Structure formats: C-alpha cells, structure tokens
Amino acid sequence: MTTSSSKMGKVENKQVIFKGYTDGSPVETDMELKHGNLIKLEAPKGSNVVVLKNLYLSCDTYMRGRMRDRHDSYIPPFLPGSAIEGYGVAKVVDSDCPDLKSGDIVSGLTNWEEYSLIQNTGQLKKIEQVDGIPLSYHLGLLGMPGFTAYAGFYEACAPKKGDYVFVSAATSAVGQLVGQLAKIYGCYVVGSTGTSQKVELLKNKLGFDEALNYKEESDLEAALARVAAVFFAALVVAGTMWYFPEGIDVYFDNVGGAMLDATIANMRNHGRIALCGILSQNNRNDPQSFRNMFSVISKRITMKGFLQSDFVHLYPRFLEDVTRYYKQGKIVYLEDMNDGLESAPAAFVGLFSGKNVGKQVIRVAKE
Amino acid sequence: MTTSSSKMGKVENKQVIFKGYTDGSPVETDMELKHGNLIKLEAPKGSNVVVLKNLYLSCDTYMRGRMRDRHDSYIPPFLPGSAIEGYGVAKVVDSDCPDLKSGDIVSGLTNWEEYSLIQNTGQLKKIEQVDGIPLSYHLGLLGMPGFTAYAGFYEACAPKKGDYVFVSAATSAVGQLVGQLAKIYGCYVVGSTGTSQKVELLKNKLGFDEALNYKEESDLEAALARVAAVFFAALVVAGTMWYFPEGIDVYFDNVGGAMLDATIANMRNHGRIALCGILSQNNRNDPQSFRNMFSVISKRITMKGFLQSDFVHLYPRFLEDVTRYYKQGKIVYLEDMNDGLESAPAAFVGLFSGKNVGKQVIRVAKE
C-alpha cells in the first residue's frame, strides 16, 4: 500500500533545523531533528534548480559564527526554523540547471537534510571522481578546510624552508594538513592537541616532528618554551643556524586566546602568525587577555588574519598539488565519520570540546 | 682663585643618574641629579674615545623599557648608578677617533650629563648642518622618532593613496610625522590625542583632517565609529569608492590596549595595523584585554610589529625626503623644549601622562 505522500510523488525529507540564536558554545538542543517534511524530487522547469540527494555533510567550526545573531561577519547568520546550511557532497537527482545533470556528484553549500532543492547552483562544483580518493574528502582534504590550510600556510604564513612551525588544533580538518604541507616544504613541525591519542596520531600517523597535549600543561608559556627548546635542539643537531635565538618562526593559529599569547612569548624575531580561528573562545567577543603584545613589536612579528575565500585564484593549484601529494602517499587525512543525519547535532557540538578525531563528517546516505 | 678640579684640568660634570629598576610608570625619583662628578675633557691617546659636550638630550618613551630589569628586549636595561643613556646632539670637544674632530656636531647615543666620554663612536653620526633646520630636530624630525614614523608608515602600513589613516598619540614625536607623511601621500588622516589644545594643533597646525580627544570619550569604540563615519562621509563627498564599507584602512598604533581593540572594531577589510608602541600600558606585561580579535580574522587585518632599526637601508632616503618636505614647508614639527639637565627627569616622566606637546627635548647647553 502506498502512502499519500508517494501518491503525490513526494518523499519524506528528514531535516536538522536550526532552532534559534545562541551566544554560548553550541549545544545539541540548538538544533532539532524534524520528521514529516515532504518534498517533490523534481526541479521545476525554468527554475534553474537542482535537486540533490545529500551523501555527506560537513561539520565545521566556522558554523558556530552563523548561530549568532550578528550580521557583521563575512557570512550571514543561519535562519531560525530552517535547515542548517553547510558544505556537503551530494548526487544530483533532477536538474533544471544546464551545467548539471542527474547522476552528477557535486560539492558545495547544501542543507542538513536528506534532499535539498538548490537554486544558487553557482555554489556547487561538479566533482570529477578520482580513483582512491573518497568522496567525503571533498569536505575536508580537498574541500574548504584543506584549501584553508593550503592558502593559510603558503600565503599567510610566508614560510621558508627550514622554518620552525607550530600548529594548534593540529589534528583538526585544517591543522592536520597545515602540518603535513609544512613538512613537505622542509619545515620542522610541532602540533598542539587535546588528548594523548591525538598526540600519538600527530607523531606516528601525520608525521609531525613533535606534539604536545595542551590540556596536560598548567603553564602554556613554559610548554611552548619546551617546544622552542626542541626547535633549538633540532637546530643544534642539524648543525646550522645554531646562533639564532631559539623559538618559533611560524604559528598557524586555530584557537586564539591563551595559546596565542603563550606562543607570542616563544616566537623568534620576524616570526609570522596566521590567524585562522578562535576555537578556544566560546563567544568571539569574550575578552581575550594578552600579556605578550609588546613582544609583537620587539620581535617584529606579523599577525595576519585570513579567509580562504580571498585566494580562489589558488584553488586549481591546490586541487592539483594536494591530489598529487595524496596519491603519492606524501599526505594522509584523518576523518571522523558519523552515520545518519540524527548524529549531526552531537557531532557538530563535539567539535568544540575536541571529541572528533580528524575532519568531522556525517554520512547521510550510501553512495 | 682656581679650584682643585680646574688645577687638575678637570671640570664638574652634572649627571642624571638612573637609581634602580622599576616595573611601574616612571617617576622622577627613579632618577637623581648628581653634582660633583669631575671629568677631564681629554680623549686619551689610542682610546678611540670622543669627548662630547651635550647640547640637546632626547626624552623617548622607549626608554621606559630600559628602566626594567628585563634582558629579553631589543635593547638592554639601564645600569643602576650610571647616567641614563639616550639620544642626544652634542659638540665634539676632543677626539681620538679619526672620523671626528673638535668642533664637529654629532647625534647618537650619549648620556644624560653635561659631558660624555664615548668609546662606541659607531653610534654617533656627524651632522651636516642645514640652514633653517634646528640642531635639536636631529632628535625628532630627523632623528630616531622621525625615522620610526617614516619606516613605519611606508613599510609597516603598506599605504595606498586614498587610504583612511588613523594615528594614536598623534602629536607625539612619531605620530605628528606619520600623519603629515600620510597627508603628503594622499591619505585622509585622523589623529587621537589627550587634550583639546592638541586637537587644535592637529587640525590647524599639523594638517590632520580630523582629531579626537580620547580622554573625553567614554566609549572608544563608538568614538572610532564616528571617525569611521567621517571617513565614510569623506568618501561620499569625493564621489568615489562609496560602496566600500566605512572604516579605517591603516592604523599607526603608538598606544596599544583599549585604543587598539577599539580600532580593530572599526577597521575595513584588509586593513593594516603598524604596532609601534604601547604607551597606554604602564607595565608592558600587564594583561591587555581584547574583545575584537575575531575581527582580525573576519576582516583579514594584518598587524605588524616593527622597529626602525630593521630599515637602516632607508635612512639616506628618509633624510633626503624629510629635509626636502620641511624646507618646502610641507611639514612642520612640534617640539617641547625644556631648559637644563635638572628639568630632564620631570620632562621624561611627563611623556607618560601626555604633558609634552610635541617632541620632548632637553637643552643642556647653548649651541
């Protein structure tokens, strides 16, 4: 017996709805799983719409900014009562857009639901599937986070071969690639993370030279001084440049706050800090206290905020480079895959306490 | 009747002695006027020493850093019990250094005393006197502060014609030149200062487009938003680029702290901040609270600490440019001259409450 919905050519479309604005750290109840929404899997003629079957959805820390009622950012807030918008990989099931046809696989901005009708198809890119590269990697390694790492490292960090590079949130979707690109570039790389399991992954799987668990450090500045000393020891061992003051040349900052302040105290002269995120701050306007700003002057440090969207001209080169490195086995990518749209709210919330190990993805449907 | 000192060929050398390290804001009792020290005005053969008669001494805010017992800065601490070291203009009265002879006028590092024996003569530059340029200007307009303004504006601020430039401590030895160089460069310039008299000087004497008295502002962020609106209005009047978000392109920061935080909130996308000093902080390691660090990311702001000493290759061009601008009447320079070595401690302390109007200089002896 058919249901009334299928009689009308409609299917149920489960959704994760954004309930309303919050200023604190996101909690699961900021979102709600909604059943019973019916959708017709047809792109109306003349609409330029594509109908997507969502396969993978991306949980990204920047989305926290869209849960706040502030219109002064680089991206507008979510709409309460609507499905959450985010990056996804999806299959086209119907299309009125000349550039896309049924069966195509796309990545880009979609919604947290089983099926999405997308009118703004300029936000979607057709994926040319490459043997051996999982589709979900288009949300991480080959997606926005990967490109953030690429643009941030090569452009905002202005790296030099032999630089001593420090990365915070080092197993994150962005951090893990920054460290690996820095290694390929010929840098000495130390990462900070929040569990001993992740410390092991950084050293043994992602190829970082050293890693520290910041949650086990009562004094971040002293911990970073140890890291700086490690850099120094490496210099002495290498037998070159031992006369430089010990310390960090490049800091790729994903967390802000106390870690940023502690790192400034351990930077070398002419060091560079790429400011990518402030994961440590629940509310981005909470005061952050800095004791070491004078060192930014005395050490002639450059701190550079950046957004990947300013570097779109590098995107083709990024895809080519990172695909090649991956196929050559020069980089690996850690992914944390949760199954089912139901798992999305908890997975997203987990980002802010570091529950995820690697890039957090939701599998909505089987390929 | 001759005194025993003149009998021995010695003269009295009054000095300002540094008494001991302090972590707070400097007070006059951190220094002491010492009489009775006797000095022979002779450069011993083979010593490479020059004997200087100090004419003008410079009071500079960076000297506060040398009153602290910290050896991690770009310049070592003062030596307690010795005369304070600082920039000065002096006349050579005897010389064992082949490059300098009696009667030469030099500028460079000397001591807060009537006569100085200087062995490190590489720190001294012979001044070629230029008609119409006061000798004391070699401590300000044509000295370290002027060069700081020049290197900081052209290099650290990366200015573009038409930029909207904001300068704090705008009548200071550095700030007043930054604003005037920015005007010559074709920028719209607003300055912040601490008295209504200085607001008038900025607008009517130094050619700033606008000025604000930060001490009269209960909400710095709102005050800066007004400045940003002024920028915006100027854009609209000019009929160009009105579609840019209102705000500040370039901030030349002499004060740090709350003003820096408030300015970040009013910067435009891709704005640049040159970090030159933290005059607002009594103790450079006192925590500074920032609420707007996220905007450094979302607006892609670059914050650059700099020291003039990294740009010595620009020094000849600086001297040529600024001398020419001054002779052409394109720039003026405010100087606050106090008479006598006795006046030095109070004049120096006054820098930190903004008592000085323009570059603070001490006249030790008549030319």
pLDDT grade for A281, boundaries at 50, 70 and 90: confident
pLDDT grade for A219, boundaries at 50, 70 and 90: confident
Question: Above 70 in pLDDT, residue A246?
Answer: no
| Calpha distance B355→A218 (Å, rounded) | 43
Q: Which residue of A lies nearest to B269 if distances are taken between CA atoms?
A: A74
Which amino acid would we find at residue B73?
A: S
Inspect the interface and report whether the beta carbons of A290 and B285 lie closer than 8 Å.
no
Q: What pLDDT, in 10s, does the model give residues A39-50?
A: 999 999 999 999
| Calpha distance B109→B139 (Å, rounded) | 10
Q: What pLDDT, in 10s, does the model give residues B1-27?
A: 444 445 468 999 999 999 999 988 899
Chain A residues lying within 8 Å of B304, measured CB to CB: 300-303
Question: Above 90 in pLDDT, residue A74?
Answer: no
Chain B residues lying within 8 Å of A288, measured CB to CB: 289-291, 293
Inspect the interface and report whether the beta carbons of B302 and A300 lie closer than 8 Å.
no
Complex confidence, ipTM:
0.90
Nearest CB to A288; choose among B276, B293, B299: B293
Chain B residues lying within 8 Å of A277, measured CB to CB: 297
Cβ neighbours for A366, distance < 8 A, ≥ 6 positions apart:
A55
pTM: 0.91
Percent of chain A with pLDDT over 70: 92
Q: Which residue of A lies nearest to B276 if distances are taken between CA atoms?
A: A297
Cβ neighbours for A163, distance < 8 A, ≥ 6 positions apart:
A182, A187, A188, A249, A250
Q: Which residue of B lies nearest to A62 if distances are taken between CA atoms?
A: B298
* C-alpha distances out from residue B109 to A203, B72, B101, B138, Å: 50, 20, 17, 12
Count CB neighbours of A202 within 10 A. 28
Inspect the interface and report whether the beta carbons of B290 and A288 lie closer than 8 Å.
yes
Nearest CB to A300; choose among B286, B296, B310: B310
Judge contact between A118 and A91, C-beta under 8 A.
Answer: no
Q: Rounded to 10 degrees, what is the CA torsion of A329, A334, A338, A343? A: -150
Paired tokens of A135: 């589709």
What pLDDT is stored for residue B251 in this prediction?
A: 96
The region of weakest confidence among A7-21, A255-269, B3-17 is B3-17
What pLDDT is stored for residue A3 in this prediction?
A: 45
Averaged over A316-345, what is the pLDDT?
A: 97
Inspect the interface and report whether the beta carbons of A297 and B305 lie closer than 8 Å.
yes
For A336, the 3-state DSSP assignment is: strand
- Angle of helix B144-151 relative to helix B175-185, nearest 10 degrees, comes to 40
What pLDDT is stored for residue A8 in this prediction?
A: 63
Does residue A277 sit at the B interface (CB-CB below 8 Å)?
A: yes
Cβ neighbours for B224, distance < 8 A, ≥ 6 positions apart:
B166, B248, B262, B263, B265, B266
What pLDDT is stored for residue B23 in this prediction?
A: 85
Q: What pLDDT, in 10s, does the model give residues B347-363?
A: 999 999 999 999 999 99
Does residue B294 sit at the A interface (CB-CB below 8 Å)?
A: yes
What pLDDT is stored for residue B175 in this prediction?
A: 98
The region of weakest confidence among A131-145, B58-72, B196-210 is B58-72
Q: What pLDDT, in 10s, does the model give residues B42-93?
A: 999 999 999 999 999 999 999 999 999 887 667 889 999 999 999 999 999 9
Judge contact between A60 and A145, C-beta under 8 A.
Answer: yes
What DSSP state is assigned to residue B17? E
